[in-house]
């Protein structure tokens, strides 16, 4: 294998196959060093070496499992995962030096940094998986790493236990350009549902706004915007609110806000009220009614001087449907309720 090809594999985090030159060469070296070991043991050693060299070390086996949607490192110790909606404690143990190496591998290619003055960062892996890292002094037993997987499975409304009536209602709402907010708790499938609904939109210009790019839309006229954190001097931050205003200048047919969590909700509701019908967003909430209360609170954070009554009128005229998702006892995500705003 040439030096160029090897460097390319390192940069892209690609694990070589057993037929690749680098795998065969590494196997030969391991055989020379440990001639008495069984073939299976030597193969395990080769995979460990290559995972550490080219990938994310002990996490590579988890990243190759297509059914794992969350990987959680709670400081030095065993790694937790979420698989098929259930939390599982794996047998993988990871120490502090390995965690620090993982963090460096994840954030260095992106030009990000994490230290005591900047102890948390959001990043993205090559496959689109979202990574959140938080370090001391905020993380008492940290550093902590949470990886939300970008699964290749193409979801549909059946994955949310929707009846035929519910499916017809939601698809009609998207087709007739209803403004929709999807709410629910953590890991209830809000972004997945957003993907499912927006995948129904064709031949329209869509502008997406996210903190970390997760949406995967199969449409040609697509503009994807992503926020930017402040630099070392604490300046040059580009927030979701800034990007909502930018999106309005880009001739969107629909605006898709990955998650409303603050004052950007005001600009999103304004956009829905000014001709961008069929826009969608998500937010954390405990019910459909709680979603409306959350939107009120987030809009008040924008400090526009509007009264609560005026804000409620804005929401009432802008929003058409609230979809509330929850996780069932068996771990499956489902549509718990739908509220139509009249």
What pLDDT does 146 receive?
A: 95
Q: Picking from 1-15, 104-118, 257-271, 277-291, which range would have the lowest pLDDT averaged per residue?
A: 1-15
Query: CA 165 to CA 335: how far, in whole Å?
Result: 12
* Residue range 39-89, pLDDT digits in tens: 676 666 666 666 666 678 888 888 888 889 899 999 999 999 998 878 999
Q: What is the pTM assigned to this prediction?
A: 0.76
In this predicted structure, the answer to whether residue 171 has a pLDDT above a threshold of 80 is yes
Burial of 229 (0-12, 13-18, 19+ CB in 10 A): middle
What pLDDT does 43 receive?
A: 64
CATH of 60-148, one of 3.30.450.370, 3.40.630.10, 3.30.465.10, 3.50.50.60: 3.30.450.370
With CA atoms as reference, report the closest residue to 196 among 263, 305, 282: 282
CATH of 157-340, one of 3.40.50.300, 3.40.1190.20, 3.40.47.10, 3.30.70.890: 3.40.50.300
More confident position, 26 or 195: 195
Determine what percent of the chain is predicted with pLDDT higher than 70: 82
Place of tokens 């990043």: 123
| CB of 259 closer than 8 Å to CB of 283 | yes
DSSP 133-149: EE-TTTSTT--EEEEE-
In this predicted structure, the answer to whether residue 92 has a pLDDT above a threshold of 50 is yes
* Residue range 263-303, pLDDT digits in tens: 999 989 988 887 789 999 999 999 999 999 999 999 999 98
Burial of 24 (0-12, 13-18, 19+ CB in 10 A): middle
What pLDDT does 212 receive?
A: 78
């Amino acid at each position: 294998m040439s030096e160029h090809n090897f460097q390319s594999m390192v940069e892209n985090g690609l694990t070589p196959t057993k037929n690749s030159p680098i795998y065969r060469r590494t196997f030969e070296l391991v055989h020379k060093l440990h001639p008495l070991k069984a073939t299976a043991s030597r193969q395990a050693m080769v995979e460990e070496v290559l995972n550490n060299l080219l990938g994310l070390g002990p996490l590579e086996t988890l990243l190759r499992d297509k059914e794992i949607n969350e990987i959680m490192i709670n400081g030095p110790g065993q790694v937790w995962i979420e698989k098929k909606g259930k939390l599982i404690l794996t047998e993988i143990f990871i120490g502090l030096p390995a965690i620090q190496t993982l963090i460096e591998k994840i954030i260095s290619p992106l030009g990000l940094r994490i230290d005591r003055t900047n102890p948390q960062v959001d990043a993205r892996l090559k496959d689109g998986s979202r990574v959140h890292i938080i370090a001391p002094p905020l993380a008492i037993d940290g550093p902590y790493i949470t990886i939300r997987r970008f699964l290749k499975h193409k979801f549909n409304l059946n994955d949310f236990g929707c009846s035929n009536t519910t499916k017809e209602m939601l698809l009609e709402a998207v087709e007739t350009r209803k403004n929709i907010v999807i709410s629910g708790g953590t890991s209830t499938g809000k972004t997945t549902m957003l993907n499912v609904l927006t995948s129904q939109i064709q031949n329209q210009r869509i502008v997406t706004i996210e903190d970390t790019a997760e949406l995967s839309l199969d449409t040609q006229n697509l503009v994807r915007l992503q926020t930017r954190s402040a630099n070392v001097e604490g300046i040059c931050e580009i927030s979701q609110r800034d990007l909502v205003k930018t999106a309005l200048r880009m001739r969107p047919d629909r605006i898709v806000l990955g998650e409303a969590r603050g004052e950007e909700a005001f600009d999103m509701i304004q956009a829905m009220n000014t001709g961008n019908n069929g826009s969608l967003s998500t937010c954390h909430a405990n019910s459909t009614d709680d979603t409306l209360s959350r939107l009120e609170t987030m809009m008040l954070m924008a400090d526009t001087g509007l009264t609560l009554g005026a804000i409620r009128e804005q929401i009432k005229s802008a929003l058409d449907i609230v979809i509330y998702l929850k996780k069932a006892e068996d771990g499956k995500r489902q549509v718990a309720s739908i509220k139509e705003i009249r």
